[in-house]
Amino acid sequence: MVRGASLPITIRKLTKSYGEVHALDNVDLDIESGEFLTLLGPSGSGKTTLLMVLAGFTRPDYGSVCFGDREVIRLAPHKRDVGMVFQSYALFPHMDVRANIAFPLKLRGLPRREIADRVDAALEMVQLGGYGERRIDQLSGGQRQRVALARAIVFEPRIVLMDEPLSALDKQLREAMQIELRQLHEKLGTTTIYVTHDQREALTMSDRIAVINQGKVVQLDTPRRVYDRPTSRFVAEFIGESTFLEVECVEGTCRLAGQPLKVEDTPPSSGRLLLMLRPERLQILDSQSDSADNVFEGRVTTVVYQGDTFLLQVVLDNGARLTVRGIASSRSMARAPQAGDPVRLGLGAEDAVLLPDQPRT
């Protein structure tokens, strides 16, 4: 299995409603050939529906899905030639590991010799060499995950779909598998659509993330852009921690409680906007001499020690509450302010992100 051909996916006006609920609402999405794209969203956002439409298991109301140049919207699932890893793994319990992986190859009528070779190669690839004769119920969760993966890639599909494949694994194994999946993708170069509700997983693995909410793609960007430059309050809240402060913008100048703000990007609009603050992007300024693009003054109400980091709950002088995160080294902990201490916080212009003020969704 070498880097093979992969296909781009073009989705246009894809819509699926269940009664009044729009699971997919006029979705337009271009997925590049060989890209690892994650569909990220809360449960019920429509991300799984989108994956099921791509696999052919859910029939949409209307819209277009093209794999390369080929329209597949009405194509039966077994003719689509996409690999899929199910959340439940969906391994056939009446077959051993080898027969599970050989299943798609036998259906394609490959010669016995080649099937054996390719199954062996797939087992090696997922580091399960020697496990071919095991029954499925003799495997651990992580091993089943690998068998499901091997079965999905063994017939060299040009598109691979993954439906929360790691959600059943414990945290450590999940993080190891994230790296492994990512490396496998780099080796195979297959267009991969990955569904998850775990924002950290999405940030770790993806080339691009499509954040989905209420059946719509609300932002499509690289992990860094999605985290650093969310375009809406929903994305900012769903990915990472954040606090929002109200600011007033007039002719490109924004003020937080009268204090002018230095920002890098031009504000998206005039009037009332929200300033997004990531806890770890705020610096705790030690002395009066330390400075930053924007400085907020306040008082610490709580200090929470979390091992690798610590959190400060701060009330600003204008009454707003926010959270600051710092790396917890012995030195920084010794210098960290105590509850009740006054504190000065710095925010770089590049980390000051302004968002339109929408109601919470």
Partner 1 sequence: MAVSSSDVLIGQGRPNAAGLRRDQLFERWTLLALTAPALLLVLITMIIPVGWLFWLSFLADDGSLSLEHYRRMIEQPSYGRTFLITFEVSLLTTAICIMLGYPLAYVLSQLPRRIANLCMIAVLLPFWTSLLVRTYAWLVLLQRQGLINAWGINLGLWDEPLALVHNLNGTLIGMVHIMLPFLILPVYGNMRALDRDLLKAAANLGASPTRAFWLVFFPLTLPGLLAGTLIVFILCLGFYVTPAVLGGGKVIMVSNRIANDIELFFNWGAASALGVVLLILTLLFIALAARLVRLDRMLGGGPG
Measuring CA to CA, how many Å separate 244 from each of 73, 191, 237, 318? 42, 36, 9, 14
CB of 77 to partner 1, least distance (A): 4
CB of 148 to partner 1, least distance (A): 8
User: Please, what's the b/e burial string for 309-318 (b: 16 or more CB within 10 A of its CB; e: otherwise)?
Assistant: ebbbbbebee
| Closer residue to partner 1, CB minimum distance, 57 or 62 | 57
Contact 147, 138 (CB under 8 A): no
Place of tokens 């990007």: 265
Is 296 a residue that touches partner 1 (CB under 8 A)? Answer: no
Near partner 1 by CB under 8 A: residue from 34, 41, 46, 56: 56
Q: Three-state SS for 29?
A: strand
How many other β-carbons are positioned within 10 Å of the β-carbon of residue 6?
Answer: 20
Is 93 a residue that touches partner 1 (CB under 8 A)? Answer: yes
Is 106 a residue that touches partner 1 (CB under 8 A)? Answer: yes
Near partner 1 by CB under 8 A: residue from 47, 144, 146, 151: 151
Is 138 a residue that touches partner 1 (CB under 8 A)? Answer: no
Near partner 1 by CB under 8 A: residue from 94, 113, 171, 331: 94
With CB under 8 A as the rule, give the number of residues binding partner 1: 32
Is 57 a residue that touches partner 1 (CB under 8 A)? Answer: yes
Is 96 a residue that touches partner 1 (CB under 8 A)? Answer: yes
Q: Which residues contact 57 (CB under 8 A, 6 or more apart)?
A: 77
Is 112 a residue that touches partner 1 (CB under 8 A)? Answer: no
Is 150 a residue that touches partner 1 (CB under 8 A)? Answer: no
Is 108 a residue that touches partner 1 (CB under 8 A)? Answer: yes
Is 253 a residue that touches partner 1 (CB under 8 A)? Answer: no
Rg (CA), the chain: 25
Considering only the stretches 14-22, 29-37, 79-87, 249-257, report the one whose residues sit in contact with partner 1 under the rule CB under 8 A: 79-87
- DSSP per-residue codes, 278-338: -GGGSEEE-STT---SEEEEEEEEEEEE-SSEEEEEEEETTS-EEEEEEE--HHHHHHSPP
- d(CA 231, CA 210) in angstroms, rounded, equals 12
Considering only the stretches 90-98, 120-128, 210-218, 350-358, report the one whose residues sit in contact with partner 1 under the rule CB under 8 A: 90-98
| Closer residue to partner 1, CB minimum distance, 97 or 239 | 97
Is 19 a residue that touches partner 1 (CB under 8 A)? Answer: no
Burial class (CB in 10 A: 0-12, 13-18, 19+), 269: exposed
| Closer residue to partner 1, CB minimum distance, 81 or 350 | 81
Contact 122, 153 (CB under 8 A): yes
Is 103 a residue that touches partner 1 (CB under 8 A)? Answer: yes
Kindly list the residues in this chain that would bind partner 1 in the complex (CB under 8 A): 55-57, 76-84, 86-88, 90-96, 98-99, 102-104, 106-108, 151, 155
